[in-house]
Amino acid sequence: MFGDKFSSLLRTLLISLAILGQANSIHASEKTIFLHFVTFIDPPYTFDKQEINKKGLVEIILNTLMKNIGIKYDIRILPAKRAEISARTTTNTCILPIEKSQEREVFFSWVSPVVISKHGFFSMPYNDYIALNALSDARPYRIGSYLGSGIGEYLDSFEYKVDFAAQNEANIQKLNVNRIDLWASDILSAQHISKHTGIEITRSKLDFFTTLRAIGCHLDIDNEIIQKMRNQLQAMYRDGTMYAIIQKFKADSFHDDR
């Protein structure tokens, strides 16, 4: 009899402990979900806070995405190369927005596309004699790009006359002093740089390439978290959230014939 009571008590105690333990473990796992994001200065996607103290496009997208799935995070700005290495080598860390290239594919778990960028050719309004109908029409001209730019490398691989500057911002000055004929750039970046520097440029003469940029996460991050982020990102496209966010960043002169 005593034995029965004791064993019943013990069973109750064990079950209680198990439930308590499970609750603690759930709580612990919830507490441990905290992601670190790294990004790099790439206006208007991420601003240099010393120059413009406001959130860039990807920071707003990320904020909406993470808020909707209830995962806490922080974000740091690093030089681009360091940011990529940091996300590759540091657990619980993701980088955005980076291009999901064949070379990079293996190093990250991907949530894509977080940014869909069109790239175009720009020139000075007072020097607007160049007509482009196809990419090959740009072949005779000196094209400005910047070191590390995927689009610059793309044009270079087809043997276009690409002149690489250290930073994209320098290209608008080069256009202005006629050191290049065309500036190949992400359209939003070009428009931001134009406004920021006060140097007027033409609308994109030809939107010749689209790139998809993604969130690349350290491979150790739980696949369930990655899947949650993917599902939320998809929902944001489907319910118009992404469209609304992006519209805020579109300059008035944005060339879109659709």
Partner 1 sequence: MFLKNSTLIRHLLFISVFIAGISHARHLVTASTQKNADVIQTWLLNEFQPSTLSLEQQKQELNWFQEAAKPFKNMTIRVVSERITTHHYESNVLAKAFHDITGIHVIHEITGEDDVIKKLQAQIFTGENLYDAYINDSDLIGFHFRSNEIVQLDSFMENAGASVTLPSLDLSDFIGINFTTGPDGHLYQLPDQQFANLYWYRADWFERTDLKDKFYAIYGYQLGVPQNWSAYEDIAEFFSIHIKEIDGQRIWGHMDYGKRDPSLGWRISDAWLSLGGTGDKGLPNGLPVDEWGIRVEGCRPVGASTARGGALDSPAAIYSVSKYIDWLDKYAPPEAKTLNFTEAGKWLSKGNIAQQIWWYSAFTAELTKADTPIVYKNGKPKWKMAPSPKGAYWEPGMKLGYQDTGSWTFLKSTPKDRMKAAWLYAQFVTSKTVSLKKTLVGLTPFRHSDILSEEMTQKAPYLGGLVEFYRSSGKNFWTPTGTNVPDYIQLSRLWWQYIGLAVNGKLSVSEAMSNMATAFDDTLLSISQNSYSECAPMLNAKTDKDVWLNKEGSPKRKVDEKPKAKTLPYEDAINVWR
Chain residues binding partner 1 by CB under 8 A are 100, 102-103, 105-106, 112-113, 116, 133-136, 154, 206-210, 212, 234, 237-238, 242, 257-258
214 DSSP β-pair partners: 98
Closest CB 100 distance from partner 1, rounded Å: 6
Number of other CB atoms surrounding residue 9 within 10 Å:
10
For partner 1, the closer CB: 176 or 241: 241
Phi, psi for 11 (deg, rounded to 5): -60, -45
For partner 1, the closer CB: 43 or 97: 97
Closest CB 212 distance from partner 1, rounded Å: 5
The per-residue DSSP string of 151-193 comes to HHHHHHHTT-EEEEESSTHHHHHHHHTTS-SEEEEEHHHHHHH
Instruction: Evaluate whether 150 touches 156 at the Cβ level (below 8 Å).
Output: no
For partner 1, the closer CB: 34 or 243: 243
165 is written with which tokens?
Answer: 């500057």
Closest CB 102 distance from partner 1, rounded Å: 4
Buried b (16+ CB within 10 A) or exposed e, 12-30: eeeeeeeeeeeeeeeeeee
Closest CB 218 distance from partner 1, rounded Å: 16
For partner 1, the closer CB: 6 or 237: 237
Closest CB 49 distance from partner 1, rounded Å: 30
For partner 1, the closer CB: 193 or 226: 226
